[in-house]
Amino acid sequence: MLCTVARNAGDEDFIYRCASIPISDQWWWSVSPMHQGRRNFLAQCRQSGNLEVLFRSVVSDLFPGGCRFAGMKTMHVVAAHGHSATQYTVSMMRMLRDDAEAKSKGLETFRGLEAASALTICKLVFCGIIQGMWTHLRHVPLLNTENLVCSSHACPSRGNMGAIYHHQRYGRGWHVNDGDGGVSYLPCVHCWVDYELILFVHLFD
């Protein structure tokens, strides 16, 4: 209120671009009429390229079935800037496609996140956004046999990931915080990824 220099510095794009705002606060500010000023603050963060705000915004637009083309375009831009949770989401969406090249790119990104020990935090961030949406607005990605990453008929674990997921989640109370959910013993990395795709879809539950 007293320092013009400080006030002007607070209006710099750099400040909006680097602002750290919890996901839950972003959601509440965006829907509550009590927070018009904070909604304007979020809009300025988006315009300035704040990756966390852009990620929440694009997930909120993409999965309730809004403008999917525009959403995926923005998602790829945010992922290209190194935002791990966005990279995780893009990798999952790519591997859910019936496209060998897309699956290969998604798998490469997924393995990079796994090597960086970033998968658990990525799932927690994504889950936090999805669970903040109204249930009836969630556009759940489709998962079927055509989406499988493991295509080897000689693989002994192929096609069993649904049963393993059901056992891990409902049998022993597995939670997203548990990292790989206890399937790191699988010799086939493609089956492990199929398990992760099932988990990704069930993050919408």
Residues 45-78 have pLDDT tens digits of 888 888 988 888 888 777 765 445 556 888 899 9
Give the global pTM: 0.77
Residue 82 burial (10 A CB sphere; 0-12, 13-18, 19+): exposed
Alpha carbon distance 47, 175 (integer Å): 35
Question: What b/e readout covers 157-174, taking b as 16+ CB neighbours within 10 angstroms?
Answer: bbeebeebbeebbeeeeb
- pLDDT score, position 105: 93
Per-residue pLDDT, 90? 92
Residue 10, Cβ neighbours under 10 Å: how many?
10
What mean pLDDT do residues 85-112 have? 90
pLDDT, tens digit, for every residue of 169-182?
Answer: 665 555 555 555 55
Residue 33 in this model has a pLDDT that exceeds 70: no
pLDDT attached to residue 28? 65
pLDDT in tens, 187-197: 788 888 888 88
Domain boundaries, the chain: 50-203
Residue 66 is classified by DSSP as S
